[in-house]
Amino acid sequence: MSIPKNPDPAKLVVGCIMNDKALIEEVFSLLEEAFGPVDMISRWLDFAYTEYYYKEMGTPLFRKVFVFKNLIAQDDLALIKEKTNEIENRFARAGKRSVNIDPGYLVSSRFILATGKEYSHRIYIGHKIYADLTLMYSKKDGFKTLDWTYPDYASKAMISFLSKVRDKYLLDLKAGKGKKND
């Protein structure tokens, strides 16, 4: 028999894609207002792995990733995705997004993204949102991609950044920082 236990809190990671870098300051301000202070910020990451967003957002596209100080409950991800959708909508023009905001969380064994799109490897987590297992972590190999991992999340730059986030997350857990589950 398995004995249920509360999961560890997670590190909130939010990626933003846009073609106008000038939007980032206002987006950043709204994200901090919603989720608290930021702990780490990636450099601008090139986003040349797919043409998926070109029609809606134009080119070139850039990605910036924010990592938040406060740890979150893993089961808050659907509500967080709802909030980031609201922020996206504030910047939409003529039915097209100017910014795509991808919230997710990192724990010691995996990196999860939230999405509104159903697919075989995605688990429904409520509020019309699914959890996408994007990367798995092993002590031997570090972060490992999966057949469905988005190319930008499989890039060396992203994996290097998320490895640093994981190191910080483990320190935060050890120090007992962030939101705790009862």
pTM for the full predicted model: 0.94
How high is the pLDDT of residue 177? 65
What is the distance between the alpha carbons of residues 163 and 67, in angstroms, rounded to a whole number? 12
How high is the pLDDT of residue 46? 75
How high is the pLDDT of residue 178? 55
Annotated domain spans of the chain: 10-175
Question: Which residue type sits at 72?
Answer: I
Fold classification of 10-175 (topology level): Alpha-Beta Plaits (3.30.70)
Contact 104, 77 (CB under 8 A): yes
First-to-final CA distance of the chain: 22
Q: What is the pLDDT along the chain (182 residues), one digit of tens a residue?
A: 999 999 999 999 999 999 999 999 999 999 999 999 999 999 998 776 778 899 999 999 999 999 999 999 999 999 999 999 999 999 999 999 999 999 999 999 999 999 999 999 999 999 999 999 999 999 999 999 999 999 999 999 999 999 999 999 999 999 986 544 43
**What is the token pair recorded at 74?**
């893993």
> Residues in the chain, how many?
182
